[in-house]
Chains A and B, each alone.
Chain A
Amino acid sequence: MSFGPSLPSDEELIKKLRESALTRRRAEEEIFSRYRYFIKEGQNQYSLSEEECFEAYADSILEMIKNVDTDVFARRSSIKTYLYRIFNNKCVDLIRKKTTNKSSVHRTSVITDMLFMMEDSAKTIVQRLIEETDHDLLKNKLAEIGDNCKKVLALFAEGYSDKEIATMADYKSADVVKTTRMRCMDRLRKLYNTRVE
């Protein structure tokens, strides 16, 4: 007996997360809505505020999606179990942060991932230069590079290949996407440098 449309299975959701931007977005929202009761559970279990639990839950969804993208999520458990573990860890991290102020809640960082790939002496040099960069200014300049640039850079940052972006955003070819991306990064760099100089 069915009382309404059946919910997509884990298999279907993961497949959708790997499809075009719109389908992926719907799958993200479906997962978010399906397990949003974790927020309430977090409030009850850890005595955290609704806002803190919302942040932990939203960050958990984003981390799970990243792990699907990078194949770190090995599918040994269901989305629910996997997500709950991440959420649980984030709540515990939050409590530790509140009680000891010794550790920060884990946030996805491209910087850490990229630096991790570098050999130590090069890493130290680049790390120092990154620390000198004005992140807020860069964020503001990103708003000035134009919608098309923002879109193409955002899709690439989400892990789509140039070929996939070409299909999704109506570019002639992957090469055109790559050239556009490079041009956009260059524009961002110039905007940033103008202000810094």
Chain B
Amino acid sequence: MSNLEYIEAYFSQSLSAGDKQEFEKRVAEDVAFAEDVAFYITANDVIYNQVLEEKKQRFRQIYRQDTSMSRSSARVLWRYAIAASVIAIAIIASLLTITKMDLPERLADDYISRNWETLSVTMNANANQTSGDSLQRAISVFNNGKPHEAIVMLEEMYRKDSLNYSVKEYCGIVSVQLKQYDKALGYFSSLANDTSLEVNPGRLYTAVVLLKRNQHGDKAAAKKILTAIVEGDFQGKEEALKWLKELE
């Protein structure tokens, strides 16, 4: 088996546990072999990103064509669009009236489904390599539909590094998905009080959980926080303004 085949067998996970250990030992001891492995990974990355880049170029062409076509179609269709908008507004207005009682929860549900059902696996600058890896792993576990396992991993990280704002943020988000709103409020309040952050979503997140929990006094508390976000020009101002109007 050539080095390349051997490396490919490792990354396609077709080596036995013993062979895998042997492979890693060789990486540590044989510089030339380690260089082969590094080249294999980098080359695959370059090739894959090239493929993605070509796809993006195709998308760009389609977007340009579609945009110019839709501009001309739009002129013809504007009357229909206005009529459809009037009907849509009438329907939305009647739906809003019917569901006004559930409005806080609905606003929170909408935010949660748009933002927290799948989490972005973005490395954080305040995390070191090890905690960054662990965080990514926990987020992947969550995105794979295992929130109970994800919260165990995240809370373990939180115990080790309670100052890591990303861990705090994800602990809160996953707690919300597990309907543990009191716990989520704890994480987000702590995040909101973190004065070291230039941009802090903690206040907005706290308001989201209060709207979702919707117990006696929660709506008023959420409105107070949303007003503070608007007045202080904090992160989430746009969302806060929108919600305050709807909650009036």
Contacts and interface: CB of A to CB of B under 8 A. Distances in A.
A56 to B, nearest CB: 11
Interface in B28-60: 28, 34-35, 37-52, 55-56, 58-60
Nearest to B120: A89
A88 B39 contact: no
Contact of A126 (B41, B113, B136, B198): B41
A132 B120 CA distance: 28
Interface residues of B, number: 57
A112 B136 CA distance: 10
Contacts of A148: none
B4 A185 contact: yes
Given A58-B59, A129-B35, A114 B11 contact: yes
Residue among A32, A33, A72, A154 with most chain B CB within 10 A: A32
A36 B63 contact: yes
Contacts, number: 159
Residue among B51, B118, B126 with most chain A CB within 10 A: B118
A142 B46 contact: yes
Interface in B100-123: 113-115, 117-123
A85 B43 contact: no
A142 B47 contact: yes
Contact of A122 (B24, B63, B117): B24
B248 interface: no
A62 B58 CA distance: 12
A15 to B, nearest CB: 19
B120 A92 contact: yes
B5 interface: yes
A192 interface: yes
B81 to A, nearest CB: 13
Task: Report, as a range, how many residues of chain A touch the other chain.
Answer: 35 or more
Interface in B77-100: none
Contacts of A84: 114
Given A84-B114, A88-B115, A130 B42 contact: yes
A110 B51 CA distance: 12
Residue among B34, B63, B145 with most chain A CB within 10 A: B63
A153 to B, nearest CB: 5
A39 B146 CA distance: 31
A195 interface: no
B143 interface: yes
Nearest to A159: B48
Contacts of A118: 24, 27
Given A85-B118, A118-B27, 11 more contacts: A36-B66, A90-B120, A102-B198, A103-B122, A111-B42, A111-B45, A119-B21, A126-B38, A129-B35, A133-B39, A189-B43
21 contacts: A33-B62, A36-B62, A54-B60, A76-B145, A84-B114, A90-B120, A93-B122, A106-B120, A117-B11, A118-B24, A119-B21, A122-B24, A125-B34, A126-B41, A135-B46, A138-B46, A142-B43, A142-B47, A157-B47, A182-B4, A185-B4
Closest 5 CB pairs of A and B: A129-B38, A89-B120, A110-B45, A122-B27, A122-B24
Interface of A: 25, 28-29, 32-33, 36, 39, 54, 58-59, 61-62, 72, 74, 76-77, 81-82, 84-86, 88-90, 92-93, 96, 99-100, 102-106, 108-112, 114-119, 121-122, 125-126, 129-130, 132-133, 135, 138-139, 142, 153-154, 157-158, 182, 185-186, 188-189, 192
Interface of B: 2, 4-5, 10-11, 13, 21, 23-24, 27-28, 34-35, 37-52, 55-56, 58-60, 62-63, 66, 113-115, 117-126, 133, 136, 143-145, 198-199
